[in-house]
Amino acid sequence: MSDVIISPSILSCDFANLESEVLSVMGAGAKWIHIDVMDGHFVPNITVGIPVVKSLRKVTNSILDVHLMIENPEKYIESFIQAGADMITFHIEASKDKTLKCIKMIKDMDKMAGISIKPKTPIDDIYQFIELVDMVLVMTVEPGFSGQIFMPKAAQKISKIKNYCPNLKYIQVDGGINDKTAKICKQMGANCLVAGNYIFKSNNRKTAIESLIRV
């Protein structure tokens, strides 16, 4: 028995058919949809933004799980929530001295707040915020691109977070998730898995999602 949530990352989908791609993974058992927002500054890549969240809001009631990989997240949080985001996760490396402000902005708008940490950032940097958020997102690749290889050392943060705050609602892991790495993460305490390539590039998305839930 497992109550792990699967959040497919649309970064690996066919953007020309975004609606049907999203509905396809929802029909295959995904509960959330992970939207990777990149600004070309915080990470060396540019992806999608507020209009895409707004468009997806019209076609699904599922949780829109927005992962902000952008500088100055406090400037954009409100707009992403107005567009329809249910969960906003920003990076501790980007929020800097405005981390509390970002959390408060999200909670004041009655949405779920997540805080994310890159593989090389010391875990000590987030402890003081863990009890204030709904989710910690542990990156197991350097943010910026889908299809990278899982970094086991980065995943060790999962068990540390679980021990530090056993009641934290969600520990999410993102980067290089497949049936093998999912198992490692779940054993350490993750209960929300993001997967891009493993789901969208598979021959059978239902089987792929089930394999992440089952392991």
The residues of the shown chain that bind ligand DX5, judged by CB under 6 A, are: 9, 11-12, 34, 36, 67, 141, 143-144, 146-148, 174-177, 194-198
Q: Is 134 a catalytic residue?
A: no
Q: Which is nearer to Zn ion, 36 or 39 (CB)?
A: 36
Q: Which does 146 bind (CB under 5 to 8 A by kind): ligand DX5, Zn ion, none?
A: ligand DX5
> In this structure, how many other beta carbons lie within 10 angstroms of the beta carbon of residue 75?
10
Which stretches of the chain bind Zn ion, using CB under 5 A?
36, 67, 174
**Shortest Cβ distance from residue 69 to ligand DX5 (Å)?**
6
Q: Which is nearer to Zn ion, 21 or 174 (CB)?
A: 174
**Shortest Cβ distance from residue 194 to ligand DX5 (Å)?**
5
**Shortest Cβ distance from residue 151 to ligand DX5 (Å)?**
11
Q: Which is nearer to Zn ion, 67 or 157 (CB)?
A: 67
CA 29 to chain centre: 17
Q: Which does 196 bind (CB under 5 to 8 A by kind): ligand DX5, Zn ion, none?
A: ligand DX5
Query: CA-to-CA distance for 9 and 30, rounded, in angstroms?
Result: 11
Q: Is 14 a catalytic residue?
A: no
**Shortest Cβ distance from residue 55 to ligand DX5 (Å)?**
19
Instruction: List strand residue ranges (DSSP E) for 3-141, in order.
Output: 5-8, 32-38, 63-69, 87-91, 112-117, 135-139
From 36, 39, 65, 134, the catalytic residue = 36
Residue pair 129/158 in contact (Cβ under 8 Å)? The answer is no
In the numeric block, which tokens belong to residue 117? Answer: 């940490």
- HSE at residue 153, side-chain half, CA atoms within 13 A, is 6
From 39, 65, 86, 174, the catalytic residue = 174
Q: Which is nearer to ligand DX5, 11 or 30 (CB)?
A: 11
Instruction: List strand residue ranges (DSSP E) for the chain, in order.
Output: 5-8, 32-38, 63-69, 87-91, 112-117, 135-139, 170-174, 192-195
**Interacting residues of 54 by C-beta distance below 8 A, sequence separation 6+:** 83, 84
Report the catalytic residues. Answer: 36, 174
